[in-house]
Structure 1
């Protein structure tokens, strides 16, 4: 059953679940930082945590992704932007108005938020270095987080992966 809620309420649901079921993953969540001048939901994410530690326990999002700190997000975005060498690459691979907020251990895949103008602003997508990005998979960061929290609480599939807890850390099969 999908629940609705604010980002803060859903973050609380997820961290309460982690505290009981995957305490090692909760321990990998870094303290919050203040961020202004960014999309409100990204600001709210960083108001709750500045990413997760780059450990297995910290990569508790789907596809082995962990939450990026502000510094890691800026660095990964700069690296990806540096690889865009023309409008065809930007149109088909990585768009300059995408901002990564979660990534796997080497940044070859990441979750991003679209900061560009238009109806897709604030939508969440997934980027894979080999094939490029797929935009607007979730309408917002809150919608992504609600779907993730529902999946871990109910033990159901989320984007084709099922949550599992090993050694106190949340992972996905």
Structure 2
């Protein structure tokens, strides 16, 4: 059974406070209600309870020059305002409906060509790639997928929910020998000399 979001977040912030204090200091306070209202009003979004719960605990992590703060593997957690700004950049001020060329790509967890109005960015890497919650309809609604610059969405979901994502990150921090597993490699937490969290890529045995 997946731990609750509050439990996983407490494990994560506890680890950061002890091992990566600079990143811990960069964790934002809870999101403002007005910011959440602005985001949900951009396309009449119905955010999953898990995403609302996470943002009620922390409004992302600050973007600081020279620090990765990439808590979510390659991605820094975005604030609600940053999520809205990124959505506006992709789908416009009025969140126009984006139709996928293939009808099979209109369900959650499927590949996608253009950036969908049903994507809610929650993580960014500063290089044009982002991690988003997929709000397309279907049994996988709420899963976490990657938008890769120049490739669109051509990979399977990384996690089935925000709760799964935070539980996986908490486990990876507590058990670095396992880390975050990806296809062909794993991400192992490390801390910079200035106390910021980063991840080392280690190839898996063939």
Q: After TM superposition, is the score higher than 0.5? A: yes
Q: Which has the higher contact order (CA 8 A, sep 6+)?
A: 1
- 1:49-105 C-alpha deviation (Å, 9 max, x unpaired): 111110215333211x211111100111121225x9763398424222111011112
Once residues 137 and 156 of structure 2 are traced to their aligned partners in structure 1, the CA distance between those partners, rounded to angstroms, is: 14
Using the size of structure 1 for normalisation, the TM-score is 0.87
Q: CA deviation at 1:130?
A: 1.6
Task: Give 1:45's aligned residue.
Answer: 54
Query: Matches of 2:89 and 2:130 in 1, distance apart?
Result: 13
Give the TM-score taking structure 2 as reference length.
0.74
Q: 1:32 aligns with which of 30, 33, 49?
A: 30
Structure with the higher helix share, 1 or 2: 1
1:147 is the counterpart of 2:168: yes
**CA offset digits 1:131-154 (Å, max 9, x no partner):** 112353211011011111111111
Deviations 1:12-68 (A, max 9, x none): 0100111101111111111102446522111111101111110215333211x2111
Q: 1:129 aligned to 2:149?
A: yes
Rounded to whole Å, the distance in 2 between the matches of 1:78 and 1:94 is 11
Matched residue SS, 1:18 = helix
Any residues of structure 2 matched to 1:54-93 within 5 Å, and which?
A: 54-55=63-64, 56=67, 58-63=69-74, 65-82=75-92, 87-88=100-101, 91-93=112-114
Matches within 5 A, 1:88-103: 88=101, 91-103=112-124
- Structure 1, unmatched stretches of 5+, are none
Task: Compute the displacement of 1:126 (Å).
Answer: 1.3
Contact 2:91 2:117 in 1 (8 A): yes
* Number of corresponding residues: 169
